[in-house]
Structure 1
Amino acid sequence: MQTPNNWFVASASTHLVVCGLQGWKDLPHELLHSILPLLSSLRDILAFAATCPPWRAAFSSYPSKYTLCPPLLIQPNIRVPAPHIPSDNGHQKLRTCKVIDPAKPNTTMHCQIDEETLHEMYFAGSSYGQLIFCSGQHCLVVDPFSGTKVSPPHFPLSIECGELSVPEFSHPPGVSYSSSEQSSYIKHFCGFLTAPLASPNSHLLVNTRFSLLDWPVGSDSWYELQLSNKWLCQIVEFNGQFIAMDYGNRIYRLQLAPQLGLQEIAITKLPGFRFLCNQNYSWLVVCGDILLRVTRFQIDHLDMSTKPAKWVEMKNLDSWALFLGGHVMSPPVSFMGPERWGGRSKCLYYARYSPAWSVYSLGDDDNPSLRYMRAWCRRLQPLWLYPSMLYRDGQ
């Protein structure tokens, strides 16, 4: 690994002697933490963490590790030959999917997801490096990089899993689906984790047709909040609170304690504000301390300092880039300063199969180049995901 500064090479022995250190493994965490932001790819970060136990400890204690590198692109329909790894886990066949790191796109990577999950369950979302699948009364949380799976209790029998009418069904070129998958109705689930699975306060939230379900991870049952005409399509964490959006683009504040609750946030509709009642074309994304609502045509940030709150148009994303998956339930990912790994700011990276992604400029009103479609379907589509290890602390 290259050293971050030439001066350190020239005077390393002197500094080690003066400080009483024995070698590279004894470097203080403060210095190691200053090195980490200079690494631009996940492979470099993993190499840093694998150097020795003290360096791994420094990596684990670094806050917000997922800000160090861009998310990885998972292409579930592209299989990677991997004869050196097992093709099953003892009772289920595994699909080895292609993974691409935008910082090192020519490096071969892969992950594994069992075929039964991909074929029989509906993709409901992703959080903290985990993929969430649902089917009937059953839910499954899958880590595609470690292979671990968590199976919550079955949904209450009273829960009805709704269907959404989908007038336009789209899928990547070269990918075929059965006639049942191409029907005009798609099962609707929206899944979200409030914290990494290992956290003591982690909850799994799943929105079905008439209910929002809350499973405190590790418990024996679900809590239910009955909803009326509030089909949630997205939940994000913003400034210590959870914000949800439904298919009418209404915004809510979600509370977990003392009991599960949902309160609509009153928002002023400004003149000229474009209202699109279709999650195919709009989504919420957190960029630092700003909550954005992004559409094909406009970027707005939510100003909650006023009563009622209001959407305020933004002309561009400044130094941010957005990463968007091909499935409606794929949450967008934001990244600040993509130039350090060769990326571009003020752009949207849309996940595909071939090419692996398309890059669109954002903030241009009526930009004719923004022609992409997010798919409504059972099967997982290309998506951006950070490995769960980047959300763990002290391990």
Structure 2
Amino acid sequence: MSGLEGWVDLPEGLLHSIVARLGSFPDLLAFAATYPSWRASFSSYPSKSTLLPPLHLQPNVPVCSARPRPFTNSLIPKRSCYVTDLANQGTYMCCQVPLFNGFSNSKYPPSYLDGFSFGAVSYGHLILSNQQRACLVVDVFTGVSVSAPQLPVDGYVLLYYAALTAPLASPNSHLLVNAGGHNFFWRVGSQSWLRRSPRNGTIKQIVVFKGQVFGMDHDRRLYIVHLVPQIRVQKIAVDLDGSMTSKWHLSHPWLVVCGDMLLMVGSQQSSLSTGDAFEAFRLDLSTEPAKWVKVEKLENWAIFISIDQRSQALCCMNPERWGGKSNCVYCYSSKGWTEFELGQPLQGDASTPRVFILFNCGSMLQSMWVVPSMFYSCYDDR
């Protein structure tokens, strides 16, 4: 056996141990590009989307210097975006996000995405919509897009929420959108939408936990969304523990999965500033009814929350390996990213600029945390 063949044929267990030790997105990308067998091993690695902190994308930084751009695609017009990797804070990347109306500066050449506005980001994909009731799912970094059929609603389409139920390449991936006062599901590759909404409202966010799709509506009601054999939305009875004063205890709650915990994370304020704190509640499904239980520590997890409420909260395991901190929620403001230790008010003094973070929803692309789509697979949701 030649030396080359020996490297190609390394066993999957050994390759997985190498993946677990790599410390940056460029290193992982280089590993996956080395041999087809290494890429297959990388694809089968479970929960690889939580190995590193998500990348932070800033859409309106005016200039990107001529640095290497690992994510490129020349088929459609792009807008340069500044990308920061917390695992390598001394460097940055300059990615090319597909050009559409979601940028504050419109002085760019015509694009086939003209007329589209930002709806959400999910599994490394932007979800866009336009006035013709079209929806487009676009890879954040490569620009590869998938078009959905025209939405069966009247008038202008504004996506109040949108998300994929699984990575785009998964066999049962669906696009869920909240538009026109209803939830619509599109199985990727099919020719039509199905309208399936809870009886008392619409689902405003979803996560996948232990192979099941969980959803929550504006009134904090919780659901399981069954996709097979047919789409069905099932309400879950949930009680509050004594530390959650009411269902409105958290002003802007996010659902996020950290390992074997399905969490609801948020603060009691509609905006965050110095002196405010994040709280987390874990869903306990061992009781009937289920219960939200206060979590004092995130153990070896960190959580990342974007300014736009429709962007999915992300997480990272063992953040100390890249210089981060466990038991922290990372948010971004004009002052840079801020670490909120769970349950502890953000400290400040006369020498520290006051932090202010306003969460919102809008048609413009905003600063956000994102994991490249290739770091997801069906293994991540089992």
Q: Does the CA contact (< 8 Å) of 1:280 and 1:328 recur in 2?
A: no
Q: 1:189 Cα deviation (Å)?
A: 2.1
What is the CA-CA distance between 1:29 and the residue it aligns to? 2.5
Which piece of structure 1 moves more, 60-69 or 130-139?
A: 60-69
2:184 is matched with which residue?
213
Return the alpha-carbon distance in structure 2 between the equivalents of residues 87 and 292 of structure 1. 35
Provide the residue aligned with 2:201 in structure 1: 230
Contact 1:80 1:110 in 2 (8 A): no
Q: Aligned match of 2:122 in 116, 121, 127?
A: 127
Structure 1 letter corresponding to 2:311: S
Distance of aligned partners of 1:25 and 1:212 in 2 relative to their CA distance in 1, 3 Å threshold: same
Among 131, 142, 147, the alignment partner of 1:146 is 142
Secondary structure of 1:380's aligned partner: coil
The 3 A distance-change label for structure 1 pair 224 and 326 is same
Instruction: Quote the residue 1:168 is aligned against.
Output: none
Distance, in Å, in 1 between the alignment partners of 2:172 and 2:370 is 22
Distance 2:249 2:80 in 1: 33
Query: Could you report, residue by residue, the CA deviation over 1:216-261 in whole angstroms, capped at 9, with x for unpaired residues?
Result: 1111111112555413221111111111111111111212233322
Aligned equivalents of 1:267, 1:329: Cα separation in 2: 23
Q: How does 1:1-395 map to 2 (within 5 A)?
A: 23-81=6-64, 93-119=77-103, 120-136=115-131, 137-158=133-154, 161=157, 187-227=158-198, 229-275=200-246, 277=248, 281-296=252-267, 297-355=278-336, 357-364=337-344, 372-392=357-377
* CA distance in 2: counterparts of 1:339 and 1:88, whole angstroms: 34
1:272-327 Cα shifts (integer Å, max 9, x gaps):
41336498621111111111111224211011111111111111111110011110
Query: What is the CA RMSD across the aligned residues, in angstroms?
Result: 3.0
Counterpart CA distance in 2 for 1:48 and 1:267 is 44
Listed as ranges, the gaps of 5+ residues in structure 2 are 104-114, 268-277, 349-354
- Alpha-carbon distance, 1:87 to partner: 11
Kindly name which structure, 1 or 2, has the bigger radius of gyration based on alpha carbons. 1
Unaligned runs of 5+ in 1: 1-15, 162-186
Cα separation, 2, equivalents of 1:29 and 1:79: 43
For 1:300 and 1:106, the matched residues in 2 are separated by 35
Indicate how the Cα distance of structure 1 residues 26 and 114 shifts in structure 2: closer, same or farther if over 3 A, else same.
closer
Contact 2:50 2:315 survives alignment (8 Å): no
Per-residue Cα deviation, 1:127-159 (whole angstroms, up to 9, x for no partner): 221111223312111112111111111101458
Distance 1:276 1:159 in 2: 33
Moved more, 144-153 or 383-392: 383-392
Cα distance change, pair 347–272 in 1 and its aligned pair in 2 (3 A): closer
- Give the TM-score normalised by structure 2: 0.82
Distance of aligned partners of 1:47 and 1:257 in 2 relative to their CA distance in 1, 3 Å threshold: closer
Query: Comparing 190-199 with 216-225, which one deviates more in the overlay?
Result: 190-199
Percent identity over the alignment is: 43
Please give the alpha-carbon distance, in whole angstroms, between the structure 2 residues aligned to 1:272 and 1:327: 27
TM-score (norm 1): 0.79
Count of residue correspondences: 349
**SS of equivalent residue, structure 1 residue 49:** helix
Quote the Cα distance in structure 2 between the aligned partners of 1:50 and 1:148.
Answer: 19
Q: 1:19-66 CA distances to partner (integer Å, 9 max, x unpaired)?
A: x99643443222221111111111111122233344333323323322
Q: In the TM superposition, what is the alpha-carbon distance from 1:117 to its structure 2 partner?
A: 4.2
**What's the CA shift for 1:215?**
0.6
| Amino acid of the structure 2 residue aligned with 1:152 | A
